[in-house]
Structure 1
């Protein structure tokens, strides 16, 4: 029997039973257990982990554990650069794109509103999400731990918040997305890029008040919806701006 000592840090403790949180604890391991196998067996999705130290040395997810190993597991680092050590994934994604599971439709729409390519269907199966994420280089967003444990998922976020607006703020701040926003460039329904369209080309489709008060319009080539910067646009803009404000800021 192989026994190792584990210590999880910061928000990774949220996945653990209360008696294991914020302290070292010993756990039995299978003889050929890897760090990934044990981390997930203890309840933490591997996509939540940024750095693993075994006996003080950085290792990857496929490292084989030995009897007596001391394992420290860290989440995403915000305060300092760990590049000289080693991240558990080979490289970051070049483009920030998402795929959201069936319970996160509201979040998917808000991410599209902020300009982030986000796939969503309410009938996605877990295996389908994992396959699409791997093929297209997408970050999986879910409240299902088992989905994030899927071997094909290399980048993912467990969403802690319940309401869509708070979920958006959580993802925007956790992944530091403020500088990557391009609000109102994607269709909220189709996820397709919006294109400018001349007012005269859509004049007959506009409500009378919109014809009088607005001059700038965009459209989605898939669903043919027309968008303009009205009061609804202003409310959505306020929501997006609030999502990148640090918690507790005025």
Structure 2
């Protein structure tokens, strides 16, 4: 017997299906609704809740012929937490980014957002995210289809500043903005240091012209308010205007 089920997706999930909202698929016998959703290219981490003919179901529901499912992304709809399939992240977000998102990691750090980057192996990324209770940001859908991943988001845009806007809106990052508090190179926290402590460690002209310095507590990189700072400050201000 050949089964046929219908799936209607909503909101931002259509970003992952090229704008298509409605599907009729022929699953194999014993397939779960999670199997069917991921077959469409939608990782479970992006699914908030699912209904079958108007009733809530979880990922383990075995699909049957004629079923009609509605699949919802994280949104402002309030439902009983017993029906939520992926929890909302609570507290200050900590991100682990895949190897394709280097520019985004630096932008997040510029705003003072915790953003780890540099791990190449998928298993290392997953293990690190689990260890710190973090959120995986990636362009690789298959990475987020692992059952043991709780928090993860597929970056839609190809452009870093648009990617930044996505993440800000998804995780309400304006609540956590602390510009110039993290090292752009390693994600370490910056601490203010006395001018004399950087003598001989910065160019002589920089030492002469500036009185305020900060140092990364992790890698030791030194920062000061030069033209690079002015450029980044202007970028931060313009970005905040756009999203407010």
User: For the superposition of Structure 1 and Structure 2, which TM-score range results when normalised by the shorter chain?
Assistant: 0.7 to 0.9
- The CA distance in 1 between the partners of 2:47 and 2:30, in whole Å, is 21
- The CA distance in 2 between the partners of 1:191 and 1:180, in whole Å, is 15
Q: Which runs of 5+ in 1 are unaligned?
A: none
1:151 aligned onto 2:147:
yes
Counterpart in 1 of 2:96? 99
Residues 52 and 72, structure 1, Cα contact 8 Å, conserved in 2: yes
> What do residues 98-156 of structure 1 show as CA deviations (whole Å, max 9, x unaligned)?
111111111111111111221111x5111221222223211111111111212222211
> What do residues 156-185 of structure 1 show as CA deviations (whole Å, max 9, x unaligned)?
111111122222122112222111111111
Counterpart in 2 of 1:214? 210
Q: Secondary structure at the match of 2:50?
A: strand
Label 1:237 to 1:81 Cα distance change in 2 as closer, same or farther (>3 A).
farther
Note the C-alpha offset of 1:245: 4.4
TM (norm. structure 1) is 0.86
- The CA distance in 1 between the partners of 2:233 and 2:57, in whole Å, is 42
Please show how residues 134-149 of structure 1 align to structure 2 within 5 Å: 134-149=130-145
Residues 38 and 145, structure 2, Cα contact 8 Å, conserved in 1: yes
Counterpart in 1 of 2:12? 11
> What do residues 35-63 of structure 1 show as CA deviations (whole Å, max 9, x unaligned)?
22110012212222222222212333233
TM (norm. structure 2) is 0.88
Q: Secondary structure at the match of 1:39?
A: helix
Q: Secondary structure at the match of 1:133?
A: helix
Counterpart in 1 of 2:21? 22
1:53 aligned onto 2:51:
yes
1:44 aligned onto 2:47:
no
Q: Which runs of 5+ in 2 are unaligned?
A: none
Note the C-alpha offset of 1:191: 1.2
Counterpart in 1 of 2:73? 75
The CA RMSD measured in Å over matched residues stands at 2.3
Q: Secondary structure at the match of 2:26?
A: strand
Note the C-alpha offset of 1:205: 2.7
- The CA distance in 1 between the partners of 2:32 and 2:52, in whole Å, is 11
How many residues were matched structurally?
242
Label 1:90 to 1:64 Cα distance change in 2 as closer, same or farther (>3 A).
farther
Counterpart in 2 of 1:238? 234
- The CA distance in 2 between the partners of 1:17 and 1:31, in whole Å, is 27
